[in-house]
Amino acid sequence: MILNQKAGLDMQHVPFAGSPPALAQVMGGQIPLMFDGVVTSLPFINAGKIKAYGVSGQARSIHFPNLPTFTELGYPELDISNWFGVVASANVPPALLGRINAAVLKAGAAPKVHDRLFALGFEPMEALSSAQLQQSVRAEFDRNAAIVKTFNIQLSQ
């Protein structure tokens, strides 16, 4: 929807139950393109089965340094990134959260873990504190809420 609006296109969104069936449709020629994460697309891009045209995020992908960002292509509104983090119940005591955070950071810094995640298509990013993660999630929520409102997105029955 955002690309349609900004580029003056008229593409139809086709929902899929995850990346694998959508990738199969792209490779089979049933749909012309999709937006997907590096983690699921990387093997198919490397095998030449699909072609990447741009990446979202603030910087070029470590995996595809010659591929421009959507911001570089003139579409800064498509600066959307995937991430993963560890979350816990609000009832977990702060001391325990601190120990969990330290263990996760230690595991993530281990060369074998880092190398494996990189091979899968993940890119390292600066670890966030609990407060920074909370702020980031809130900003993402607010941004997505604005998109829902702008495009009058509603749940279908």
Domains of the chain with bracketed CATH: 1-81 (3.40.190.10), 83-157 (no CATH)
Low-confidence ranges of the chain (pLDDT < 50): none
pLDDT at 129: 76
Give tens-digit pLDDT for 14-54. Answer: 889 999 999 999 999 999 999 998 889 989 999 999 999 99
What is the 3-state secondary structure of 91-104? CCCHHHHHHHHHHH
CA distance 54 to 56: 7
pLDDT of residue 48: 95
- Secondary structure class of 136 (helix, strand, coil): helix
SS (H, E, C) 32-90: CCCCCCHHHHHHHHHCCCCCCCCECCCCCCCCCCCCCECCCCCCHHHCCCCCCCCCCCC
What per-residue confidence (pLDDT) applies to 138? 92
